Amino acid sequence: MLERTYTRHGSSLIVRLMSFVCLFFESYVAPCVELKTAKRDHVQQNQQTRFPRATRPLPLKLVTVGKDRGTAMESVALEYVKKIQRYCAFEEVQLRPNPKNSSDVSNQVSSEGERVMRSISTKDWVVLLDERGKEMTSEKFADLIADAGETGASAVVFCIGGPFGHGPQVRERANVSVKLSTMVLNHQVAFLVLLEQIYRAWTILRGEKYHH
């Protein structure tokens, strides 16, 4: 009798204890663990956890073909240019499309190409931004900039073509073709994306936290 009471009492105590533990786990421990994992994933996505890479910072030059960007676009671009200039020399060469050539697209593209070529020297390492180029992650793009420093080149030249793309001479000259996005980007937007990725590349190479 005593034993039965004890057993019944004991088992219900165990059940109650178990359910308490379960409740405690469900309502406190599990969410905590989830939160931690979520936090860690978040950190891995947003912060570069890579070690810094010693890099010879080559001067960067960006050659664009196109009409005037508005003042709003220019001021956003300038923010990034200033950030990039903390890491390396940076200049932009903006070429205007020649209106005399606008009646014939292939003529226009090839005359633009000729002018782009005048901004490229023989010792430059030329990166073509192109829809048909290589897709890459920001980390790979950072490596590309670092690798360029090891080629003996004197500068890296990024080329963003006009609305009708790159001239054949420029395609021929390119050392690598990079695709900035799988979506089609307006060349002004591509310009901003490129600046942002160059800045991001430097934070990756230096092992720094990315500042938004």
Ligand X SMILES: *[C@@H]1O[C@H](CO)[C@@H](O)[C@H](O)[C@H]1NC(C)=O
How many separate helices (H) and strands (E) can be counted in the chain? 7, 5
Fill in the amino acid letter for 105.
V
Q: Which of 119, 138, 169, 175 binds ligand X (CB under 6 A)?
A: 175
**Looking at beta carbons only, is 167 or 185 nearer to ligand X?**
167
Q: DSSP label at 165?
A: B
Q: Which of 101, 119, 138, 177 binds ligand X (CB under 6 A)?
A: 101
Q: Which of 68, 79, 104, 150 binds ligand X (CB under 6 A)?
A: 104
Listed residue (92, 87, 52) closest to 208, CA to CA: 52
Report if residue 177 touches ligand X, rule: CB under 6 A: no
Characterise 57 by phi-psi region: left (phi > 0), alpha (psi -120 to 50), beta (else): beta
What x/- string results for residues 119 through 158 when contact with ligand X is judged by CB under 6 A?
A: ------x-------------------------x-x-----
User: Is residue 84 within 8 Å of residue 143, measured between CB atoms?
Assistant: no
Listed residue (127, 143, 126) closest to 180, CA to CA: 127
Give the range of 43-51, 83-91, 99-107, 198-206 binding ligand X by CB under 6 A. Answer: 99-107
Report if residue 173 touches ligand X, rule: CB under 6 A: yes
Applying CB under 6 A, the residues found at the interface with ligand X are 98, 100-101, 103-104, 107, 111, 114, 125, 151, 153, 173, 175
